[in-house]
Structure 1
Amino acid sequence: MGKFVLLDARLFAPGADLSGASNKIELTSEIEDKDATNYRSGGYKELLGGLGSAEIAAEGQWEAGDPSLVDDQSWATLGGVGPYTVCPADSATGALAYITSGMRADYKVGDAVGEIAPWSGTVKSSWPLVRGQVGHPPGTARTATGTGTILNLGAIPAGKRLYAALHVLSATGTTPSITVRVESGDATLTTPTTRLTFAAASAAGGQILRGNGAAVTDAYYRVAWTVTGTTPSFMFAVSLGIR
């Protein structure tokens, strides 16, 4: 990806796509620097990396009256921990995505008379920030069991983990249910291995999972889902990454 102008950045909260209500999204990540300087440090400071942290700060136009809108979603998640995904350019399958489990730390609304009603808020990480890809796009309704596009994420070295965030954006039908999983294998995934399985979902909401730190030689991954119910339909997004 070369230089580009921010025109289609995406922000997914646990159970909502906040992109259409956002006009500024900032993502920061840092590692604490710990001073380990001593008499054998050669006359220079000696620093070690300490605790890591990440933060998502966003703002935009206020909307309310539906669980998918920013005011309803912000109040529902304030003080809670859940999955968040930020995409700098778009949310097509394979697009660059940043993933974390974070606490919705604050929420602000209001401005001067005559201004478009604004909102702003921050999310502070509870898990590492992971750089990955979109595994399933948000704009495709799923009404039956299926599998998604195969992605080359690479093998997972020992000590690193597979991370996956699920954002169920809408669910309709009679007793609808969807169970989403992440599979891995060779380039064709003819005989896939299930690596992560989210809990069954029947309404909008979010989940995030990570692997156990064991090495995985498979380099190819995809999202798969099982849908049940009467005339079910789900809109959801999944992001995947290794860290």
Structure 2
Amino acid sequence: MAKMVLTSEYVGINSVDYSDNVRKAELTVEVEDKDVTTFGSDGWTEVLGGLKSGELKVEFLQDFAAGQVDEDMWALLGSVVTFEVRPTSAVVGTSNPKFTGSILVNGWNPIEGGVGDEASVSVSFPVSGAVTRATS
């Protein structure tokens, strides 16, 4: 198995490449576990998969200039928009899959930090609908 260090992750939101403003991105997907245990389950819990959900967490380095992170995210507040994340900014392929879907921009922290901190913003956007994985 190849080992990898994330040095050029691609993060796109609403068709805009924010990779130059992102320090960290994390896409999580999960499936609810539904307990279907019965008296006939021999003393073991039985579960089935329920609804799927996901979340895109992003740590932005803040930029208040026109047409940059803060202005863009402020305008998207309350909207469902597309996203794409990849391990690297290279072309999509079997060793660089892309994950796409839609997120709800349900919050924004325009100012976050203390004295001497870099201007950064950490947000978590819930996925709306399916997440797909593609290698082409």
The one-character-per-residue Cα deviations of 1:152-205 (angstroms, maximum 9, x if unpaired) are xxxxxxxxxxxxxxxxxxxxxxxxxxxxxxxxxxxxxxxxxxxxxxxxxxxxxx
Indicate yes or no: 2:119 matched with 1:104: no
Q: What amino acid maps onto 2:50 in structure 1?
A: G
2:49 is aligned to 49
Pick the aligned partner of 2:128 from 123, 126, 130: 126
Cα offset for 1:31? 0.3
Change (3 A) 1:91 1:77: farther
The DSSP-based 3-state class of the residue aligned with 2:130 is coil
- Unpaired runs of 5+ in structure 1? 134-150, 152-243
Change (3 A) 1:91 1:107: farther
Higher RCO, Cα 8 Å, sep 6+: 2
The DSSP-based 3-state class of the residue aligned with 1:76 is helix
2:119 is aligned to 117
Q: In the TM superposition, what are the counterparts of 1:40-189 in structure 2 within 5 Å?
A: 40-67=40-67, 69-94=68-93, 95-108=96-109, 109-133=111-135, 151=136
Q: What amino acid maps onto 1:103 in structure 2?
A: L
Calculate the aligned-residue CA RMSD, in Å: 1.6
The one-character-per-residue Cα deviations of 1:89-114 (angstroms, maximum 9, x if unpaired) are 22424331111111112222321122
TM-score normalised per structure 2: 0.89
Native 8 Å contact 1:63 1:70 kept in 2: yes
The DSSP-based 3-state class of the residue aligned with 1:116 is coil
1:10 is aligned to 10
Change (3 A) 1:91 1:70: farther
Native 8 Å contact 2:107 2:123 kept in 1: yes
Native 8 Å contact 1:11 1:86 kept in 2: yes
1:34 is aligned to 34
Query: Based on CA coordinates, which of the two structures has the bigger radius of gyration?
Result: 1
Native 8 Å contact 1:16 1:73 kept in 2: no
- Unpaired runs of 5+ in structure 2? none
Q: What amino acid maps onto 2:79 in structure 1?
A: G
Q: What amino acid maps onto 1:126 in structure 2?
A: S
TM-score normalised per structure 1: 0.52
Give me the whole-angstrom Cα distance separating, in 2, the residues matched to 1:98 and 1:20: 19
The one-character-per-residue Cα deviations of 1:34-91 (angstroms, maximum 9, x if unpaired) are 1110011121101011110011101131002233x21112111111101100111224
% same residue? 32
